[in-house]
A and B are shown apart, each in its own frame.
Chain A
Amino acid sequence: RKEVEQDPGPFNVPEGATVAFNCTYSNSASQSFFWYRQDCRKEPKLLMSVYSSGNEDGRFTAQLNRASQYISLLIRDSKLSDSATYLCVVPPMDSSYKLIFGSGTRLLVRP
């Protein structure tokens, strides 16, 4: 099993829709997780961190399900500007500091 897995998408949704995608991880001991956003041909930027049960920031909600070992990202009232690739990031299974990046989920918000 890969250390982190994401549905590549694309998720194609209309403006105003609510969309959610998940990320599964292997390391049951992981404590901190992150969602990054990457626009086309740009660098990844931190969107949200998830340390406990969840985190909410405006239209974005990240949740952690330790029992099933996945984190989710919910986007409400989607905007055209939300179109991007969303990367899930989890700590490594070894003692290194090499964070593990998922391959990303692509979101397309249409007018």
Chain B
Amino acid sequence: EADIYQTPRYLVIGTGKKITLECSQTMGHDKMYWYQQDPGMELHLIHYSYGVNSTEKGDLSSESTVSRIRTEHFPLTLESARPSHTSQYLCASSETGQGSGNTIYFGEGSWLTVV
């Protein structure tokens, strides 16, 4: 069972509010990721990190930002939420290395609704 946790699981906020989605993993994984997924649609990588102080933009443009100050923590922040940000956000991690090191583990997701 993966040890990766996301909070909040569900959030409804008003337009213009600032929010931070938390993600923590206790597996000591170097690599962490944020994906965005609408119901019934495919996963889109929006941010990833190779380790502390490393963050990169993903394949899908996002107005969110991330930080990686500690190995286990990879929060995602939206400075000013809009209805178009309504979606599920999935945090994931994987360890460095070949073979099984590519296995990626997901948190349970954060469902964000912006009204």
Q: Which residues of A contact B (CB under 8 A)?
A: 31-32, 34, 40-46, 49, 51, 87, 89, 91, 97-99, 101-104
Residues of A within 8 A of B103 (CB): 34, 46, 49
Whether B109 and A101, one on each chain, are in contact in the complex, defined by CB atoms closer than 8 angstroms, is no
A8 (CB) vs chain B CBs: closest residue:
B42
Whether B107 and A99, one on each chain, are in contact in the complex, defined by CB atoms closer than 8 angstroms, is no
What is the interface of chain A mostly: helix, strand, loop, or mixed?
loop
Q: CB-defined interface of B28-61 with A at 8 Å, one 1/0 digit per residue?
A: 0001010000010011010010100000001100
Q: How far is the CA of A43 from the CA of B94 in the complex (A)?
A: 15
A41 (CB) vs chain B CBs: closest residue:
B39
Whether B108 and A43, one on each chain, are in contact in the complex, defined by CB atoms closer than 8 angstroms, is yes
Residues of B within 8 A of A34 (CB): 102-104
